[in-house]
Structure 1
Amino acid sequence: MVQKKSLFISTGALLMLSLPTQAEMLNAYIGTYAPKGEGVYLTQIDSQTGAMNKPTLAATITNGAQLVYNADQSVIYVASEINNYQGTTNGAIVAYSVAQNGTLTELNQVNSEGAGPVYLSIHPSGKFLLIANYISGSIAVYPINKDGSLEKAVSVKQSTGEPGLSYPKAAAPGSFALSDHDGPHAHMISSDPSGKFVFSTDLGLDRIYQWKFNTETGELTPNTPAFIMASSEGAGPRHFVFHPKANMMYLINEEASILTSYNFDKDKGTLTEKQSISILPVGYEGTSYASGIIINETGTSLYTVNRLHNSISQFAIDKNGEFSLVDNVWTRGDYTRTITFSPDGKFIYAMNQRSDNMVRFSVDAQTGKLTFVENYVAVPAPSQMIFAK
């Protein structure tokens, strides 16, 4: 005879099932600019409410403004935007091991192979760190050891060419966003989702470089064509994101304050321009600089940051990858460098550099619209924040 399983559940068990999940305190690290910021700060954030605790200094490092986790989040890499590393005019990259309580311990340092390291990313394989050096216009690839420390760069590429147009043709009327079209200025480097291709932007030359990536050695080789030009003269390509589902890339142009989309050929590793729209409100006149860009996990909402205008622009993305401006929300601070999602995507945090604070917005699950949450947190000259997920 087959014995029937009991369907009895105790009252205590029912109560446990009905109780909400207990909130966790998530560690998040914030990179800052000197002289106000002393290095990398640690804050703890409530996983349910998104509330931020007062940050504390976790690592003293000059201009440790850019940072990224390794694949398993046991190590953080920080770019130090100094100009005198070991007697050179270059910056430094510092690797820190991360303890469970959030303490950072230095593992090693390497030469950034250029001046002004402003962007770090991890290759999808987890085996390489990619960096972009803004002042010198160079990019570099570093193998990552098993303990998370960095080896010397295995591939270094230096941009050369004619500077882009000083005045951005597509900028808003009255704009004086005229900076840095005086030579090469690499601003970002990152892989496509497959890891077979790498892209880097050069604001000074108005170029988006297309690279083939050797996943065994880390060597970069030019694709065909080696680069494409920005969507308009003097636009100043800065940061980009890939669509999580479609073969699309979205890129912000810093000087022109334009968002441009590209069809991505996943077999050839090349981009084809598709659409461009201003990230500023209709009718805006004056100067503004695009800075940050993020996209949600479903690929339906994309957000960009406008410095000087001090706003976050929300774009809706349709099933064809085309986008339209939905809203502009005040950042509640000055000169916002970057924005980042909470791990669950329910909040967006903004780093307001000149007003020395960090703020958060709740994200509507259906529409993607942002609502400011009253929770200002003082941080000296914040640049970027990363979460432990």
Structure 2
Amino acid sequence: MIHSKFVLVFISFSIALSSTAQTATPATTILSPNLLVGTYTKKGSKGIYVLSFDTVTGKATEISHTDGANNPSFLTISKDHGQVYAVNEGSDGKVSAYSFIDNKLNLIQEKTSKGADPCYISLSPDQTNLFVANYSGGSITSYHRFADGRLSNPQQFIQHEGKSVNEARQEKAHVHGVFFSPDGKYLLTPDLGMDEVSIYPYQTKNGPPLQIQKASKIQSSPGAGPRHLSFSSNGKFVYVIEELTGSISVYRFYKGIASFIQKVYTHPKSFKGVAGSADIHLSPDGLFLYASNRGTENNIISFKVLPNGKLEEKSIQYYSTEGKAPRNFTINKEGTWLLVANQDSDNIIAFRRNIQTGSLTTTGVSIKLSMPVCLLFY
């Protein structure tokens, strides 16, 4: 049986680049686009890395990095690229705010996340509020963002309470992300522990930014473990990756209500291993959907997206990530490159992407970096 309740509380490395084993040299010319990389720091990473990315070769060069950041595993950047915000994942969870000038990060603030192991961070589209998902804490924390990019103390705190059927992974709430709908009117929060995605109306008038009393929910299949999601650009469809069953559930989305239309799997029917699905993104043109699997397979999968929002199951393709634990991946705005962060093999793999067919091709380029987790083009 699944139990759920919400409680609302107000509170006023060095880097090397190789297709062989080359050592990266400091950048002398800034290439476009650039790339932010969030990492775990327990094996020697310096924290957040700023890389220049060459869209001709797929190679990258380090521009700068932080010093002393603790597990800045997920990142977000302001629209004007003036600030970068990171979670600091650990039992004493924190959020760090950085000024970002001339591709260099300077720490300006640290705030408590009010929950253990913050794992995801998002700015509201209007840039006035910041939201954090605390995985082990099973909670969401918000901060007001001032005009100069600084953050208020925690502004709103929402504690999820509940569990689901997988005793090892779903013994309590585990909020795994905070995602805005394209129109900026709703914040969706997948909870792996409760098999739910909460849909909170967002507002900027008086009172807390998330209207908990008006929230709706997506109820996932028992044991599925919703983790991340991706919206179609028109906001009509939402695709939820489910970590524990290696599945993707597709929903029609209208005025804050999600209606189930399809479930597909990211593994062959004969698959008997550990799923470990992680991340999900649509291509910039919305014609293809990609997801990453850790666990036994360590791959990227792709589907064609049909005009009715469903995924064409027979179109599924599998691509090895040439590493272990592909945590997060990103696609450049032109749709010509897909980069994947292999957390456990300490490398980032660059795939060329065919924008007509959606197919991925390896380049032989491996960007060596200790425990990469989050990739963010800017």
Same fold (TM over 0.5): yes
Aligned to 1:271: 258
Percent identical among aligned pairs is: 29
Secondary structure of 1:160 counterpart: strand
User: 319, 337, 349: which one pairs with 1:347?
Assistant: 337
Q: Would you say the 8 A contact 2:141–2:157 is kept in 1?
A: yes
Aligned to 1:153: 154
User: 194, 200, 224: which one pairs with 1:205?
Assistant: 194
Aligned to 2:137: 136
Q: CA deviation at 1:302?
A: 0.7
Q: CA deviation at 1:348?
A: 0.4
TM-score normalised by structure 2 residue count: 0.87
Q: CA deviation at 1:116?
A: 0.9
User: 226, 245, 249: which one pairs with 2:238?
Assistant: 249
Aligned to 1:315: 303
Secondary structure of 2:300 counterpart: strand
In structure 1, C-alpha distance between the alignment counterparts of 2:62 and 2:271, rounded to whole Å: 36
Q: What is the one-letter code of the residue matched to 2:70? A: T
Q: Would you say the 8 A contact 2:182–2:234 is kept in 1?
A: no
Q: Which runs of 5+ in 1 are unaligned?
A: 1-21, 85-90, 167-177
Aligned to 1:99: 101
Q: CA deviation at 1:345?
A: 1.6
| 1:145-186: CA deviation from partner (whole Å, max 9, x where unpaired) | 11111112222100012x1111xxxxxxxxxxx742110110
Q: What is the one-letter code of the residue matched to 2:42? A: P
Q: CA deviation at 1:55?
A: 7.0
Matches within 5 A, 1:1-389: 24-36=31-43, 37-54=45-62, 57-84=65-92, 91-100=93-102, 102-161=103-162, 163-166=163-166, 179-217=168-206, 218-222=208-212, 226-230=216-220, 232-245=221-234, 247-266=236-255, 269-308=256-295, 309-325=297-313, 326-388=316-378
Q: Would you say the 8 A contact 1:234–1:256 is kept in 2?
A: yes
Q: Would you say the 8 A contact 1:261–1:276 is kept in 2?
A: yes
In structure 2, C-alpha distance between the alignment counterparts of 1:294 and 1:25, rounded to whole Å: 22
Secondary structure of 2:172 counterpart: coil
In structure 2, C-alpha distance between the alignment counterparts of 1:156 and 1:214, rounded to whole Å: 15
RMSD between superposed Cα atoms in Å: 1.8
In structure 2, C-alpha distance between the alignment counterparts of 1:287 and 1:244, rounded to whole Å: 31
In structure 1, C-alpha distance between the alignment counterparts of 2:375 and 2:113, rounded to whole Å: 21
Q: CA deviation at 1:125?
A: 0.8
Q: CA deviation at 1:143?
A: 1.1
Q: Would you say the 8 A contact 1:38–1:63 is kept in 2?
A: no
Cα distance change on mapping 1:129 and 1:246 into 2, 3 Å? closer
Q: Would you say the 8 A contact 1:23–1:46 is kept in 2?
A: no
Q: What is the one-letter code of the residue matched to 1:198? A: L
Q: CA deviation at 1:249?
A: 0.3
Q: Which runs of 5+ in 2 are unaligned?
A: 1-28
Q: CA deviation at 1:72?
A: 1.3
Q: Which has the higher contact order (CA 8 A, sep 6+)?
A: 2
| 1:123-151: CA deviation from partner (whole Å, max 9, x where unpaired) | 11111111100001000221111111111
In structure 2, C-alpha distance between the alignment counterparts of 1:246 and 1:115, rounded to whole Å: 31
Q: What is the one-letter code of the residue matched to 2:40? A: Y
Cα distance change on mapping 1:106 and 1:93 into 2, 3 Å? same
In structure 2, C-alpha distance between the alignment counterparts of 1:260 and 1:206, rounded to whole Å: 12
Cα distance change on mapping 1:55 and 1:378 into 2, 3 Å? farther
TM-score normalised by structure 1 residue count: 0.85
Q: CA deviation at 1:56?
A: 5.1
Q: Would you say the 8 A contact 1:245–1:299 is kept in 2?
A: no
Q: What is the one-letter code of the residue matched to 2:302? A: Q
Of the two, which has the highest radius of gyration? 1
Secondary structure of 1:186 counterpart: coil
| 1:83-106: CA deviation from partner (whole Å, max 9, x where unpaired) | 23xxxxxx1100001112x11111
Q: What is the one-letter code of the residue matched to 1:338? A: N
Aligned to 1:8: none
Q: Would you say the 8 A contact 1:40–1:60 is kept in 2?
A: no
Q: CA deviation at 1:212?
A: 1.4
Cα distance change on mapping 1:54 and 1:196 into 2, 3 Å? closer
Q: Would you say the 8 A contact 2:241–2:277 is kept in 1?
A: yes
Q: What is the one-letter code of the residue matched to 2:311? A: F
Q: Would you say the 8 A contact 1:261–1:273 is kept in 2?
A: yes
